Amino acid sequence: MSNDDLFTRAKLSIPGGVNSPVRAFGSVGGTPRFLVKASGAMVTDADGTEYVDLVGSWGPAILGHAHRDVVRAVQDAAARGLSFGASTPAETELAELVKERVSALGVSPIEKLRLVSTGTEATMTAIRLARGFTGRDLLVKFAGHYHGHSDGLLAEAGSGLATLAMPASAGVPAAIAAQTLVLPYNDLDALRAVFAERGDQIAAVITEAAAANMGVLAPDRGFNAALHELAHEHGALVILDEVLTGFRVSSSGYWGLSLADGPLYTPDLFTFGKVIGGGMPLAALGGRADIMDYLAPQGPVYQAGTLSGNPVAVAAGLATLERATPAVYERLDEASAVLSEAVSDALSREGVAHVVQRAGNLFSFVFAEERPRNYAEAQAQESWRYAPFFHAMLHGGVSLPPSVFEAWFVSAAHDERILSRIIEALPAAARAAAS
Ligand code: PLP
């Protein structure tokens, strides 16, 4: 069956034909590709067409798709049992590995870790925990940051809501939305003002370690540290959301990376997803032991999950993290530098105004003269240039994220040969963006 036929059929049984909105190609138009196989840097659709993949399952595929050792670990784990609903030795191994990896300048901020199944669950639980621990209700988030789809986090969120230009979701009770205060990113004055006014009611500030769901938009130098200082002065916690950046931009996430050339800051809670599960449904929250011990069964904040710490997912996560060596991060950095420069050159040759946005090896492009610093500025770009660019790349055999508001993901399998294939497709795409 062709992609067109599959999409028509899917729409009869699945809302919008997809199980996650951005997959529908809504903002770029055309028919989404139905994938049947992925290996290394390549994906294959139902028509048998191969594409170089720069979506990487939206982050997890750091080693490339279907890495032999990861697949073997999954097969071995599956053969021992798909799910026990009981503790396993591997869960503790993974928690220990995360504690060890997320460490920088002698600071190891993850003292305890709880495994869940999705990034949405991780942030939702971290917020409940912050509220339970502080006895306060209000949450501060930044416009354009995406933390999953739990009720209180859908106000001015990035990712699919940015793609669909939705300010919020229907179905969220006003009383719940009122507990979330949404501020412009990179604006310390706005943060100071809200703490001055309601500081004693704020349980936590949640922030993407580096925003990457309104396109990549890294925090200003020192912003994360200043945010921590302010929150802590007022007795509020900070939840650093590393679902997307964790174990991708460095082995200690964006937090570790940012300490290399900026002031030290210590988040109270972290959230992880994507790479930690190596492509299987696995995510986590972790941080200070005194806060984490507020979780049931030790503490009064409830969280549970039939599939939490699922043995097959944990095996995939462990196998992936064990193979995420310094050489892998070097490869990702290099591939990302070569590629982002090549795209930028191609756009410049066609006179297309753009800015390359980076956070470690994550990058994306903004069709604007100036670097945006927040969601309103990111939205003000000439986003209509992306659809023709995207389709020309697809025609040239390269699968990009189907939205200008998403990061591009390289993997360790993006070697010189693969990069050349992408670079060959660029001139036609840049011309398309220019017209
Ligand atoms: N937090 C961030 C920063 C994300 O990028 C995402 C997903 O893209 C989430 C949370 C939600 O994760 P999940 O899609 O696994 O629920």
How much distance in Å is there from the Cα of 360 to the middle of ligand 1? 18
How much distance in Å is there from the Cα of 155 to the middle of ligand 1? 15
Residue 418, C-beta contacts closer than 8 angstroms, at least 6 positions apart: 40, 41, 52
Nearest to 124 by CA among 116, 136, 113: 116
Biggest CA pair distance of the chain: 61
Catalytic (active site) residue 241: yes
Q: Where are the alpha helices (DSSP H) in 350-415?
A: 375-379, 386-395
How much distance in Å is there from the Cα of 390 to the middle of ligand 1? 23
Catalytic (active site) residue 146: yes
Which residue's CA is the nearest one to ligand 1's atom 12?
A: 119
Q: Which residue in the list 45, 53, 141, 146 is annotated as catalytic?
A: 146
How much distance in Å is there from the Cα of 309 to the middle of ligand 1? 18
Q: What are phi and psi of 254, to 5 degrees?
A: -70, -30
Q: Return d(Cα 1, Cα 195) in angstroms, integer.
A: 56
Q: Give the global pTM.
A: 0.97
Catalytic (active site) residue 11: no
Spell out the per-residue pLDDT of the chain, length 435, in tens. 999 999 999 999 999 999 999 999 999 999 999 999 999 999 999 999 999 999 999 999 999 999 999 999 999 999 999 999 999 999 999 999 999 999 999 999 999 999 999 999 999 999 999 999 999 999 999 999 999 999 989 878 777 777 776 778 899 888 999 999 999 999 999 999 999 999 999 999 999 999 999 999 999 999 999 999 999 999 999 999 999 999 999 999 999 999 998 899 999 999 999 999 999 999 999 999 999 999 999 999 999 999 999 999 999 999 999 999 999 999 999 999 999 999 999 999 999 999 999 999 999 999 999 999 999 999 999 999 999 999 999 999 999 999 999 999 999 999 999 999 999 999 999 999 999
Is 118 touching ligand 1 by the criterion CB < 6 Å?
yes
Which residue's CA is the nearest one to ligand 1's atom 7?
A: 148
Domains of the chain from N-terminus onward: 3-62+325-434 (3.90.1150.10), 68-323 (3.40.640.10)
ipTM over 0.90: yes
Q: Which residue has the tokens 């950095």?
A: 333
Cβ atoms of 203 and 179 closer than 8 Å: no
Q: Which residue has the tokens 């064990």?
A: 322
Q: Return d(Cα 375, Cα 356) in angstroms, integer.
A: 16
Residue 91, C-beta contacts closer than 8 angstroms, at least 6 positions apart: 115, 309, 314
Annotate 109-175 with DSSP letters as a single string: --SEEEEESSHHHHHHHHHHHHHHHHT--EEEEETT----S-GGG-TT--THHHHTT-SS-TT--HH
Q: Return d(Cα 49, Cα 35) in angstroms, integer.
A: 9
Following CA atoms 376, 176, 153, 310 in sequence, which dihedral angle do they give, to the nearest 10 degrees? -170
